[in-house]
Structure 1
């Protein structure tokens, strides 16, 4: 049994894994001295210790879980309004997963390791995303 927990989050405004990767690469080059991206959220995960035992953030793109990133650490940051926030610090590598349909939701949610879609095999990691309709149809019948 896995002793860690993942997070799942909508990647709003993103059309593909490639677009998410390009956006994050641009941010890494300019935003932080350590070269790691952060997703800042207003809620601090109550299960932070379990996340840091090997958890990832799974990205939902256009209604489908399509990739994940390993969570490196959780940093406390202060928002412009003075509120304490959580910066989820992410490994730069996007790891493609088997696609899985996911309905819209607000914020992030916990995703047990047992419920997370498996990674695609190494030889498929460099593939371009399939067209949305085909990707969704294959995910709905459990092919991808």
Structure 2
């Protein structure tokens, strides 16, 4: 299991629904771009995840599966499944930051949340649960 994860701002998203909608519209495409490859990229491939910060709060994560060099940037391959996490506040930052596993928010297991039923239904339809 990885000793490190990444945290990245989900710029432009006002809610988790925004992120899920964008991903659904993109279809099977599961990656993000970054100018520089993280120096600890090999550790990230051993079970590391990308934690999304939406409006100042970590709300979900996706496992990192690859790093591919493009012409002027790196493409970070992500699993196709979003995993909801406990909400964890984060201050604004640029780019990405490392996150130690012991500092990462806990995953939410289905049935352990107080989300409204309509939101849970939407998350299931989006493939999150």
Provide the TM-score with structure 1 as the length reference. 0.75
Deviation at 1:95, TM superposition (A): 0.9
Partner of 2:94 in structure 1?
A: 106
Alignment check: 8 A CA contact 2:2 2:48 kept: no
Structure number, greater radius of gyration: 1
Residue 53, structure 1, aligned to residue 52, structure 2: no
User: Unaligned 5+ residue runs, structure 1?
Assistant: 29-34, 130-144
Q: Is the 8 A contact 1:10 1:60 kept in 2?
A: yes
Aligned to 2:9: 10
In structure 2, stretches of 5+ residues that fail to align are: 121-129
Q: With the length of structure 2 as denominator, give the TM-score of the two structures.
A: 0.83
* Candidates 52, 65, 72, aligned match of 2:65: 72
Q: State which of 99, 103, 106 in structure 2 corresponds to 1:115.
A: 103
The answer on 1:91 being equivalent to 2:84 is no
CA shift at 1:124, angstroms? 4.5
How much does 1:4 deviate? 2.9
Structure 2 residue matching 1:123: 3-state secondary structure: coil
1:118-129 equivalences in 2 (<5 Å): 118-124=106-112, 127=115, 128=119
